[in-house]
Amino acid sequence: MKKAVLFDLDNTLYDYDKPHKKALKNVYRVLKKHVKISFPRFLLLFGFAKREIHRELAGTAAAHNRILYFQRLIEKTESTVDPGLNLLLYNAYWDCLLKNMRLRPGALDVLKELKKKGLKVAIVSDLTTNIQLRKLKKLNIGKYIDVLVTSEEAGSEKPHQIMFLLALNKLRLRPHEAIMVGDNSITDIEGANSVGMDTVLLKRGILAKVSKEDYRKPNYVVKGIPGVLKILEKV
């Protein structure tokens, strides 16, 4: 019998991609008031900046910090540091993304039902704690969450085992007593499988075929968050 469910946050409990695209457009609207640049050029340089930061800070929460992406972007367009503009872009991004966040269909009902059944709920997510707390507040689901673990707190990002072990330690549970739900077969599924947890993959697109020995292979696959409840009835 499972005693807890660990959830990824971004692109699992809510759709990250749509608000992210809107947020980037909002950033561009702010940037073009200060720098002459086309939208395709902006996206290109943002992509370069993001990949550079990821390469240099791989495995850390800072690798996901948008303020570093925008700082590098400004350096590429202006060859200088502009503190005021950097902060404007950072706030433009997160204010817009948070405004447009929406829980996935059925996600709130699932969290309520888990609470009703007495199961613990943890969020295991990359990125900084401040931003993830702001997301939980915006989604208004904090009262259903017992534990939050971010890569900033853990010192490493998923799929490192420490992310999942820290959550289990906070919950005072063993791996077989919890189940992990996420949308990414590497960061969520491989990481949780490696510590002995059962895993549920939220299907997004075509699934890659993997052997049963591969840690990326989930125990279960669902098309929507409500499917998690049916799986818990089985296990």
Q: Which candidate in 8, 15, 188, 198 is catalytic? A: 8
183 included as an active-site residue: no
Q: Which candidate in 10, 183, 188, 198 is catalytic? A: 10
**For residue 225, what is the DSSP state?**
T
Six-digit token string for 36: 């002459």
Q: Is beta strand 120-125 parallel, antiparallel or unpaired with respect to 198-202?
A: unpaired
188 included as an active-site residue: no
What gap in Å lies between CA 3 and CA 179, rounded to an integer? Answer: 9
Instruction: Tell me how far CA of residue 24 lies from CA of 11, 19, 40, 198, 230, in angstroms.
Output: 17, 9, 11, 36, 37
What gap in Å lies between CA 166 and CA 182, rounded to an integer? Answer: 17
Residues with a known catalytic role:
8, 10
